[in-house]
Structure 1
Amino acid sequence: MGLDLSHVRPTKDEGLEGFTKDELSANPEYIARYNDWFHKDDDGNDVLYFVEKGYQRKGVIKEFYADFENCVPYFEKRSVEKVMIYLDLNSPFSADFKKNFVDNFIEGESMFYASW
């Protein structure tokens, strides 16, 4: 099982990483804030694109998977801070997590998600 952790922020430009309004529906305030930034994709879905601010491959212990959901966006800094208790301290992948995810996380703008 591969694991990717991503810290992203929205962009007005089209890009490679994006979430639909349906995927962001848990946070209607976020959708409203960036409503003018959505683009129609080839299937007619409204998509908000993102730029990467932090990325990590692997580096968490197995208990992480019980507390976080696959491909679900998290909008609060406290969620990202919680990830730190699941870091595998023996993994070289975890060394820069705080700098790339927590220290530069901006409430109301940043988003965190994990995919596996």
Structure 2
Amino acid sequence: MTYVVMDNCIKCKYTDCVEVCPVDCFYEGENYLVIHPDECIDCGVCEPECPAEAIKPDTEPGLESWIKLNAEYAEVWPNITVKKDPLPDAKKWDGVENKLKDLSPNPGTGD
């Protein structure tokens, strides 16, 4: 098992999760975070830290496309280990459904 970041992170990008991760397996895009599946040790400490409830275990049904997306972007985006401010409109976007179309493929700034 590993953990995966879902679409509710898109355009919110809270980073509470990165600070508690003991193996630094989060990677930052311009408006989204991903978890590297080969680096995640399945400890689960990130899941309750996410204010947007965007982190789920990969054992839940229907997550195949999100697992693949996390793996792909974790290979090209910079690693992030330090908490940053969420995106300016995070509260407005939290809970909005079907945000995949709003995902930016651009990398974030990393630490």
Q: TM-score, normalised by structure 1?
A: 0.29
Identify the structure with the greater strand proportion: 1
Higher CA-based Rg: 1
